[in-house]
């Protein structure tokens, strides 16, 4: 491991000053990935900037419209231990409770999970399902980006030099809606998805027709995928097994996986279908549970 300086700024202004000094920077928003990568020589930097001492990045709040704004370095456990987060955004909790183990979750953050940009990461498909956007900050100001545009390749994200991920914004969910996220792993000791799927349904007031839907996949392409073809297969349909099966077929068709030690192309395409159907079934169940 190469030597580097450790910086612990106390404000966003100090962060932006540090990232503008011309040195190679990495960020510690939890450290559960980057420390391992540095130790193994897979990544290098001149300075490691710890974001855990900045209030705006380590707290969350509900907006007056029911949305949720999450500082990028907020620990996962802090979020899922809040009963209101669990009640309003159960699909987000589905994802963040399976990122590592309990000890990891007391440090790890959604921002770190996103910026690590793994195709198999759990938070991106869940956030895409919920229509989340990201606030990216720099010395020049902020810009917003949909989650589905943030990860641009394995280990690559859309941050430009001098930028950091500041906030994850999850909008209030529509009436008569439900969402669910899950993944397939061969055994509990393996915590990286072979494939994953998230789905959201929005029904009409009578619950007899699907007004809109969202389907997102993980670990079946170079980046997490939003699957508009699956959503289109559901729009205007009754929430039936037949409609869900068509959406599952569209998800499998959109998947572009690889074969590796955890799964084959054929297995991952099959899982894309099965997990999508099951996510839609559980999303529907969540709507029915609160009726």
* Helical pair 241-254 and 265-289, crossing angle rounded to 10 deg: 140
The total number of residues written for the chain in this structure: 291
The predicted pLDDT at position 248 comes to 98
Quote the distance between the C-alpha of residue 282 and its chain's center.
19
Nearest to 215 by CA among 174, 240, 180: 180
Q: What percent of the chain has pLDDT over 90?
A: 89
**What's 172's DSSP letter?**
P
Give the pLDDT band of residue 16 (cuts 50, 70, 90). Answer: very high
The predicted pLDDT at position 1 comes to 73
CATH number of the domain to which 164 belongs: 3.30.465.10
Give the pLDDT band of residue 189 (cuts 50, 70, 90). Answer: low
For the cut 90, the answer to whether the pLDDT of residue 197 exceeds it is yes
For the cut 90, the answer to whether the pLDDT of residue 70 exceeds it is yes
Q: Do 159 and 95 share a structural domain?
A: yes
The predicted pLDDT at position 51 comes to 96
Strand order in the sheet with 25-28: 5-7, 47-50, 25-28
Among 17-21, 33-37, 213-217, 258-262, which range has the highest average pLDDT?
213-217
Q: Do 58 and 118 share a structural domain?
A: yes
The predicted pLDDT at position 188 comes to 65
Between 33 and 224, name the one with better pLDDT: 224
Give the number of domains in the chain: 2
Q: How many C-alpha atoms does 274 have within 13 Å on its Cβ side?
A: 10
The predicted pLDDT at position 172 comes to 98
Question: Per mean pLDDT, which range of 10-24, 168-182, 275-289 is the poorest?
Answer: 10-24
Q: Do 92 and 236 share a structural domain?
A: no
Boundary (domain end) residue, out of 170, 188, 211: 170
For the cut 60, the answer to whether the pLDDT of residue 190 exceeds it is no
Q: Do 160 and 181 share a structural domain?
A: no
Gap between the Cα atoms of 3 and 290, Å rounded: 54
Boundary (domain end) residue, out of 170, 204, 232: 170
Q: Do 195 and 124 share a structural domain?
A: no
Q: Do 81 and 27 share a structural domain?
A: yes
For the cut 90, the answer to whether the pLDDT of residue 240 exceeds it is yes
Give the residue-averaged pLDDT of 264-288. Answer: 98
Give the residue-averaged pLDDT of 190-199. Answer: 90
Q: Do 239 and 146 share a structural domain?
A: no
Residue 70 contacts by C-beta under 8 Å, 6 or more apart in sequence?
60, 79, 110, 167, 168, 169, 170
Beta bridge mates, 198: 181, 216
Are the C-beta atoms of residues 211 and 202 closer than 8 Å to each other?
A: yes
The predicted pLDDT at position 152 comes to 98
Q: Do 270 and 133 share a structural domain?
A: no
H-helix or E-strand containing 157? strand 156-157
Boundary (domain end) residue, out of 149, 170, 191: 170
What is the chain's mean pLDDT, rounded?
95
Q: Do 194 and 282 share a structural domain?
A: yes
The predicted pLDDT at position 33 comes to 87
Q: Do 21 and 150 share a structural domain?
A: yes
Q: Do 35 and 18 share a structural domain?
A: yes
Quote the distance between the C-alpha of residue 176 and its chain's center.
23
The predicted pLDDT at position 101 comes to 87
Using DSSP's 3-state secondary structure scheme, residue 125 falls into helix
The predicted pLDDT at position 191 comes to 76
User: What residues make up the domain containing 263?
Assistant: 177-289
Q: Do 91 and 22 share a structural domain?
A: yes
Give the pLDDT band of residue 92 (cuts 50, 70, 90). Answer: very high
The whole-model pTM stands at 0.95
């Amino acid at each position: 491991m190469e030597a580097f300086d450790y910086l612990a700024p106390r404000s966003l202004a100090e962060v932006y000053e540090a990232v503008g000094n011309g040195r190679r920077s990495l960020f510690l928003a939890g450290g559960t990935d980057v420390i391992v990568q540095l130790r193994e020589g897979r990544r290098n930097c001149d300075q490691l900037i710890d974001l855990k001492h900045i209030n705006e990045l380590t707290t969350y709040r509900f907006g007056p419209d029911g949305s949720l704004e999450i500082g990028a370095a907020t620990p996962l456990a802090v979020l899922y231990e809040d009963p209101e987060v669990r009640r309003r955004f159960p699909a987000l909790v589905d994802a963040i409770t399976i990122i590592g183990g309990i000890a990891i979750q007391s440090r790890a953050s959604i921002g770190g999970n996103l910026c690590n940009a793994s195709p198999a990461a759990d938070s991106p498909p869940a956030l895409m399902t919920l229509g989340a956007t990201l606030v990216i900050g720099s010395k020049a100001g902020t810009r917003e980006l949909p989650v589905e545009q943030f990860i641009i390749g394995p280990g690559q994200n859309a941050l430009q030099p001098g930028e950091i991920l500041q906030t994850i914004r999850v909008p209030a969910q529509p009436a008569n809606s439900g969402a669910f996220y899950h993944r397939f792993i061969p055994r509990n000791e393996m915590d990286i998805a072979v494939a994953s799927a998230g789905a959201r349904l929005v029904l009409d007031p009578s619950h007899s027709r699907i007004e809109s839907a969202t389907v997102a996949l993980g670990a079946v392409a170079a980046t997490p995928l939003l699957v508009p073809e699956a959503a289109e297969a559901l729009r205007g349909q009754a929430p039936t097994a037949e409609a869900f099966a068509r959406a599952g077929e569209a998800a499998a068709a959109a998947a572009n996986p690889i074969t590796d030690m955890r799964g084959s192309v054929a297995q991952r395409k099959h899982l894309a279908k099965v997990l999508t159907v099951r996510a839609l079934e559980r999303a529907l169940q969540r709507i029915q549970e609160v009726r």
